[in-house]
Homo-oligomer: A and B are copies of this chain.
Amino acid sequence: MEALTKKQQAILDYMRQHVAELSYWPSIRDIQAKFRFASTNAVFGHLQALERKGVLQRIPGAARAYKIAPEVSADLSETVIRYEGPSEDQIVNFEEVKFAGAIAAGLPDYTESSGVLSTMQVPIAEGSRRRSPQSFALRVRGDSMIDADINDGDTVIIEPGQPKHGDIVAALIDNETTLKRLIKQGGKVFLKAENKNYPDLIPVNELVIQGLAKTVMRRI
């Protein structure tokens, strides 16, 4: 893999940041403005180089259309212990998940560039459909779901989707997000905390949902 020059790396980083924040790619002129080039051709040349080096794929003729390669870096440190990487059958396929940040009342403030903080990539579970690009990550506080093995300090990945009976959802209660299991019973909808010490079922008429909890991450 041919190494990137400083400017090429900077442009690549800018493109990553742009698509992570705004959700669409920058045009050549956007990049030109960012780096104060006097000519679009300066950017054009760099993009060609990035493509030649295999870290970027352009779609010829299409505007603001790229596919980007994952980051690759070099150095390894020497240690007392010998390390080996994972073998091929241990590979998990990953996909990207958007990670939303500052939110105004109501819908996430997609008009502000601060609306999306960064992106993360999470594993694709076998047989599961692709994750929506609107997924995001939340830190869990409290013990309302300990019986479902979701504990304080865990991180859950929230995805949009049609909530079904039994799903664990991120719901707004008293303007605060809580993780609850959704229960449909006799045509009515309840939220249930998976903790024996908490009241059984919370009836809800208007449900404000951030999404469905599909993945839990725990720090050992």
Contacts and interface: CB of A to CB of B under 8 A. Distances in A.
Interface of A: 1, 16, 19-25, 27, 54, 57, 59, 62-88, 90-96, 98-103, 106-113, 115-123, 125, 128, 130-134, 136-139, 149, 153, 155, 158, 160-163, 168, 170, 172, 177, 182, 184, 187-189, 204-211, 213-220
A196 B76 CA distance: 26
Contacts of A109: 85
Residue in A67, A76, A116, A158 with the greatest tally of chain B CB atoms within 10 Å: A76
A206 B79 contact: yes
Contacts of A213: 220
A111 B16 CA distance: 18
A177 B86 contact: yes
A86 B158 contact: yes
A93 B118 CA distance: 8
Contact of A80 (B65, B101, B187, B205): B205
Those 8 A-B pairs whose CB atoms lie nearest each other, nearest first: A85-B108, A63-B63, A71-B160, A120-B121, A70-B134, A24-B65, A67-B110, A70-B118
B116 A81 contact: no
Given A67-B110, A118-B94, A209 B24 contact: no
B84 A123 contact: no
Contacts of A102: 88, 91
A119 B121 contact: yes
